[in-house]
Amino acid sequence: MGKENYYFNMQSFKPYIFTDKEKCINKYCFDMLNRVQSMFKYSGDIPETLKMEYFDTYLYTFGHCCITEVNGDLYAMFGNWGGEPGPYYVPTEYIVANPYLNFYKRLEIDHNCIVARNDRYAYGLKDIFEKHATMLVENDISRVVAEYNTRIADLLAAEDDKTRKSAELFLQRIIEGKLGVIASNAMLDSFKAYRQTSGSVGNTIIALIQDHQYIKSEWLQDLGIDSNWNGKREAVNSAETALNQDYLLPLVDNMLYERKAALERLEKLYGVHINVEFNSSWEDNQQEIDQELEEKKDPEEVSTDDHTDPEA
């Protein structure tokens, strides 16, 4: 067997099962989780045992995590709230269990651990992911069904079970991309067909594609990525773009603020200085927005040459 054949046999790609909703939702969520891993970048005196990629993963998925010291080393761990609530009904303890480190403890917040939140209310991104992924999966299933319908000119109706089973086999062969065969004239006579208009199926597919683009754009905007979806099918003016930017900022800015606040508490408790800032597309968006704000504060003088002599 040649190297090329061996490589392709190792891949073993299979048809994508759109009706396995849970698996498809997980694939969409993990794909987006891979993308948001590049949202923040960390620098400074980061201990080898403190893995910031897991720190972010815990915050994205659980909404909160803690950093604590075990045998002189710092680790990020996820757990749950505990202890008596403080004056603002905020828990005062964080409960963690790490079998690998043999570490099971109720930690006193800001005394022997710091707790970081993904956002102000420690909500995380899990619900946002699940919402949009579920909508995309439902859209995918509808689009696949619409694609199947483009292969079928008529909708079939059967008068008895035997005819129904034959119709189901006929449709299954169509889905598999094969030609369907009717067994006998008697069975054919028991079928009733209702003609579909090709235009309605085509319009349905176009609408589903637009809906898919809108859902994905809405998901990206929730995560602070400027992904305009123009449903008007015409140019978007600068005022509309500015409104879109205003929508992008609040959540990701809050996420950055909470991380900075947590790392300040970390430095105060353990003396470790770590910086955090936006990275990748989020950094580009922030730079563009900052530049626009600077231009608004100190606008350049625009020439209004009307070909007239000022001394005239």
The residue range of the domain holding 193 is 126-216+226-234
Domain count, the chain: 1
What is the DSSP secondary-structure string of the chain? --HHHHHHHHH------TT-HHHHHHHHHHHHHHHHTTSEEEEES--TT--HHHHHHHHHHHSEEEEEEETTEEEEE--EEEEEE-TTS-EEEEEEEETTTTEEEEEEBTTTBEEEESSTT---SHHHHHHHHHHHHHHHHHHHHHHHHTT-SEEEEESSHHHHHHHHHHHHHHHTTPPP----HHHHHHEEEEEPPHHHHHHHHHHHHHHHHHHHHHHHHHTT------TTSSPPPHHHHHHHHHHHHHHHHHHHHHHHHHHHHHHHHH---EEEEE-HHHHHHHHHHHHHHHHHHSPPPPP---S--TT-
Q: Decide if 56 is inside a domain.
A: no
pLDDT of residue 200: 72
Q: Decide if 230 is inside a domain.
A: yes
Q: Decide if 279 is inside a domain.
A: no
Least confident of 43-57, 154-168, 201-215, 237-251: 237-251
Structure-block tokens of residue 256: 């950055």
pLDDT digits (tens, 9 = 90+) for 32-42: 999 999 999 99
Instruction: Give percent above pLDDT 90 in the chain.
Output: 54
pLDDT digits (tens, 9 = 90+) for 248-269: 678 899 999 999 999 999 999 9
Q: What is the pTM of this model?
A: 0.77
Q: Decide if 251 is inside a domain.
A: no
pLDDT digits (tens, 9 = 90+) for 174-202: 777 776 665 555 555 665 555 556 567 77
pLDDT of residue 312: 43
pLDDT digits (tens, 9 = 90+) for 122-173: 999 999 999 999 999 999 999 998 888 777 665 666 667 777 777 778 778 7
Q: Decide if 9 is inside a domain.
A: no
pLDDT of residue 3: 56
A 10 A CB-CB count for 263 gives: 22
Residue 2 CB burial class (10 angstroms; 0-12, 13-18, ≥19) = exposed
Q: Decide if 85 is inside a domain.
A: no
Of residues 255 and 3, which shows the higher confidence score? 255
Average pLDDT, the chain: 82
The answer to whether the CB of 96 falls within 8 A of the CB of 68 is: yes
Least confident of 131-145, 210-224, 294-308: 294-308
Q: Decide if 141 is inside a domain.
A: yes
Q: Decide if 135 is inside a domain.
A: yes
Is the pLDDT at 1 greater than 50? The verdict is no
